């Protein structure tokens, strides 16, 4: 069981988390969950996941960004790929997709728009894991 | 702010008076010519022509002054210009009257026009002052001519004998004339004041409505955003089940879950479109930049390409080679064009064709999207860009459209100071045209 790929989901919406968990577990990933940003950072340190799925809007509108920045600053965790879930265009009118990979701006590795399609989620996860 | 609006308003009215004055110059010359040449009245032509030339001269000066003050002029300066013009007009008319018969000349009643113009241009108080100035000018001429201090130029040929020294006649005419002046000013200023007040109320109401509309849009934004979050969760939970990730379902279960997932998808599409249009409405400024037009267009075509291929619809585009970069929000313009293209694909039958022609119009570009689809019924054309409106034949082709695609396109184009229009014939096809400044 130890060689299973570990994925950490940091998201405050329990229903979306559950749906993602089902999808990811169907592809034999080991899934752990954090309900907010602080817990997410703690869990990252504890579990050392292979990939993090991070929601943008949690306690605050851009909590996800703060979490991503904190993790990428730390040399122990900066290599863990982060897939960010965002529907942020709805509220801010900004389209972050163009900025993906620009570390100075937003330190995440890829984006996925909500609502999530199971196949898209699995594809992106696989792609990011291959890169590392 | 209000003063700026009034200054613009006043400038517009002064321009109108300047135009009228050019007509007046021509009119004066024609009247002098016909009175002296055709009717053979004896008139002192030299001073009369001098006055006509002076009239043209100061009109030109006011025209030049106005073009100079148009941009930076304050309300006070422009108001002074308006007052000065009217006073000069009154002096010119008084001089014209003096050299052409004084009180005997029926053109004295043309002073009434000046009173009406003053009432439209100036404040109530200034208008009454101008009326008093006219009355004084008139009395001055009549009195001076009566006592022989000023020479009297009799309108021989028009009247049979001199009236300027006939006391009862001049008193009677003066009384009627002066009372007419004041009554005219009273009436014109009260109508004009009422109109100005109504204008102000309309403006305030308009501001209020805009504010209410903004509040409504914010409400829509918040509500649809919340709905979208719940929908995301519903969709997220339904799709693994519908896709068989959670295990195999029996055919009935699968059918119902797929129906639910399908409807959720449609609702999500609708909520997203609603969010989109509300966001555009609420955004104060769109982020504008220069971008390559043709590259953006190819991407837009790529979005609809697979759907067009499914229906074997050919999509051709021609872009005039002089069109390079244009200024605007690339994402939004692309969205507007994609919406139009998606509509064309949706409402064009199998084996149809869509042509995109982009031409250079100097300061702007014209994008024309032509299809040979179902077209739009003529009586529904004016409503086609309204939010949530769907043409009757479009509803037959597809039951669940949002009715927002075209209104989003319209909002985007208008935010770029462009124009969007449609020409269509039911059963033959449609042409959607967008004109965008470069």
For B188-245, write each residue's pLDDT tens digit: 999 988 988 998 999 999 999 999 999 999 999 999 989 998 999 999 999 999 988 8
Which DSSP symbol is given to B159?
B
Percentage of the residues of chain A whose pLDDT score is greater than 70 = 80
A16 reaches B (C-beta below 8 A): yes
Quick one: which of B299, B345, B294 has its CA closest to B324? B294
| φ, ψ (nearest 5 deg) of residue B376 | -130, 130
Q: What is the pLDDT of residues A20-40, one digit of tens each?
A: 999 999 999 999 999 988 899
Edge-to-edge order in the sheet of strand B353-360: B314-319, B353-360, B364-371, B429-437, B419-425
Residues of chain A found within 8 Å of residue B296, distances taken between Cβ atoms:
none
CA distance B433 to chain A (A): 26
- pLDDT for residue A97: 44
CB-CB under 8 Å, B279 with A115: no
More confident residue, A83 or B9: A83
Confidence of residue A94 (pLDDT cuts 50, 70, 90): very low
Closest CA in chain A for residue B283: A93
Which DSSP symbol is given to A117?
P
**Radius of gyration of chain B measured on its C-alpha atoms:** 35
- pLDDT for residue A105: 53
Token representation of residue B225: 């955003």
CA distance B63 to chain A (A): 48
Token representation of residue B48: 């009369």
Residues of chain A found within 8 Å of residue B331, distances taken between Cβ atoms:
95
A18 reaches B (C-beta below 8 A): yes
- pLDDT for residue B207: 95
- pLDDT for residue A98: 43
Give the integer Cα–Cα distance in Å for B5 and B75: 9
Residues of chain A found within 8 Å of residue B262, distances taken between Cβ atoms:
none
Q: Is the pLDDT of residue A115 over 80?
A: no
Residues of chain B found within 8 Å of residue A23, distances taken between Cβ atoms:
240, 245
Residue linked to tokens 């649809």? B224
* Overall average pLDDT of the A84-111 stretch: 56
- pLDDT for residue A113: 81
Q: What is the pLDDT of residues B23-56, one digit of tens each?
A: 999 999 999 999 888 888 888 899 999 999 999 9
Residue B156's CB: how many other CB atoms inside 10 A?
Answer: 15
Residues of chain A found within 8 Å of residue B232, distances taken between Cβ atoms:
13, 16, 87, 114-116
Please state the three-class secondary structure of B244-279 as a single string: CCCCCCCHHHHHHHHHHHHHHHHHHHHHHHHHHHHH
In whole angstroms, how far apart are CA B434 and each of B255, B344, B347, B364?
43, 15, 19, 10
More confident residue, B422 or A99: B422
- pLDDT for residue A96: 45
Tell me the pLDDT of chain B (438 aa) as tens digits.
444 456 777 888 888 999 999 999 999 999 999 988 888 888 889 999 999 999 999 999 999 888 887 766 677 888 888 889 999 999 999 999 999 988 888 899 999 999 999 998 888 899 999 999 999 999 999 999 999 999 988 887 787 777 788 889 999 999 999 999 999 999 999 998 898 899 899 999 999 999 999 999 999 999 998 999 899 999 999 999 998 888 899 999 999 999 999 999 999 989 988 998 998 888 888 888 899 999 999 999 999 999 999 999 999 999 999 998 999 999 899 999 999 999 999 999 999 999 999 999 988 999 999 999 999 999 999 999 999 999 989 888 887 788 899 999 999 999 999 999 999 999 999 999 999 998
Residue B233: which of A16, A22, A26 has the nearest Cβ? A16
Residues of chain A found within 8 Å of residue B243, distances taken between Cβ atoms:
118-119
- pLDDT for residue B73: 64
- pLDDT for residue A104: 45
CA distance B213 to chain A (A): 18
Token representation of residue B231: 């929908």
Q: Is the pLDDT of residue A128 over 80?
A: yes
CB B156, CB B164: distance < 8 Å: no
B231 reaches A (C-beta below 8 A): yes
Confidence of residue A91 (pLDDT cuts 50, 70, 90): very low
CATH superfamily entry for domain A6-131: Response regulator (3.40.50.2300)
- Put simply, the chain A residues between 51 and 90 with a CB less than 8 A from any chain B CB are 87, 90
Q: Is the pLDDT of residue A103 over 70?
A: no
Q: How many CB pairs under 8 A join A and B?
A: 53
CB B104, CB B115: distance < 8 Å: no
Token representation of residue B168: 């009862």
Average pLDDT, chain A: 81
Cis, peptide link before residue B85, omega less than 30° from 0:
no
CB-CB under 8 Å, B240 with A26: yes
* Overall average pLDDT of the A51-77 stretch: 84
Residues of chain A found within 8 Å of residue B268, distances taken between Cβ atoms:
115
A23 reaches B (C-beta below 8 A): yes
């Amino acid at each position: 069981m130890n060689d299973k790929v570990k994925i950490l989901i940091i998201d405050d919406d329990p229903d979306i988390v559950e749906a993602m968990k089902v999808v990811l577990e169907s592809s034999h990933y080991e899934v752990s969950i954090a309900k907010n940003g602080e817990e997410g950072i703690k869990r990252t340190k504890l579990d050392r996941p292979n990939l993090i799925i991070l929601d943008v809007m949690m306690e605050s509108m851009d909590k996800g960004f703060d979490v991503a920045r904190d993790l990428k600053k730390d040399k122990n965790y900066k290599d863990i790929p982060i897939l960010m879930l965002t529907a942020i265009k709805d509220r801010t009118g900004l389209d972050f997709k163009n900025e993906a990979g620009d570390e100075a701006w937003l330190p995440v590795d890829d984006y996925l728009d909500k609502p999530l399609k199971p196949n898209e989620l699995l594809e992106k996860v696989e792609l990011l894991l291959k890169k590392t | 702010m209000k003063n700026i609006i009034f200054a613009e308003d006043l400038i517009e009215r002064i321009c109108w008076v300047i135009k009228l004055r050019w007509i007046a110059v021509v009119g004066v010359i024609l009247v002098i010519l016909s009175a002296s040449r055709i009717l053979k009245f004896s008139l002192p032509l030299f001073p009369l022509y001098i006055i006509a030339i002076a009239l043209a001269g100061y009109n030109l000066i006011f025209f030049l002054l106005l073009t100079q003050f148009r941009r930076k002029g304050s309300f006070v300066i422009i108001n002074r210009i308006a007052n000065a013009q009217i006073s000069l007009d009154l002096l010119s008319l008084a001089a014209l009257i003096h050299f052409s018969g004084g009180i005997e000349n029926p053109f004295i009643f043309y002073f009434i026009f000046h009173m009406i113009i003053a009432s439209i241009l100036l404040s109530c108080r200034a208008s009454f002052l101008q009326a008093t100035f006219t009355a004084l000018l008139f009395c001055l001429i009549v009195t001076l001519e009566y006592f022989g201090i000023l020479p009297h130029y009799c309108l021989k040929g028009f009247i049979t004998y001199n009236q300027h020294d006939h006391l009862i006649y001049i008193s009677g005419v003066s009384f009627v004339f002066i009372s007419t002046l004041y009554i005219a000013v009273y009436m014109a200023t009260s109508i004009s004041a009422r109109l100005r007040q109504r204008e102000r109320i309309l403006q305030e109401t308009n501001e209020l409505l805009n504010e209410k509309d903004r509040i409504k849009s914010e409400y829509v934004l918040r509500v649809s955003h919340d709905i979208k979050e719940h929908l995301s969760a519903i969709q997220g939970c339904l799709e693994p089940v519908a896709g068989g990730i959670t295990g195999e379902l029996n055919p009935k279960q699968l059918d119902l879950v797929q129906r639910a997932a399908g409807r959720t998808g449609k609702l999500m599409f609708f909520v997203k479109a609603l969010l989109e249009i509300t966001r555009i409405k609420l955004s104060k400024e769109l982020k504008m930049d220069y971008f390559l037009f043709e590259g953006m267009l190819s991407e837009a075509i790529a979005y609809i390409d697979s759907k067009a291929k499914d229906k074997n619809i050919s999509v051709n585009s021609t872009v005039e080679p002089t069109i390079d970069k244009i200024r605007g929000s690339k994402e939004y313009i692309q969205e507007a064009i994609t919406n139009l293209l998606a509509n064309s694909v949706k409402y064009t039958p199998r084996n149809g064709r869509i042509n995109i022609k982009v031409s250079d119009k100097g300061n702007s570009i014209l994008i024309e999207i032509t299809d040979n689809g179902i077209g739009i019924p003529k009586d529904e054309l004016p409503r086609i860009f309204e939010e949530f409106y769907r043409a009757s034949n479009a509803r037959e082709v597809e039951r669940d459209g949002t009715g927002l695609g075209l209104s989003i396109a319209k909002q985007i184009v208008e935010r770029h100071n462009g124009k969007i229009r449609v020409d269509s014939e039911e059963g033959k096809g449609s042409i959607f045209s967008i004109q965008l400044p470069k």
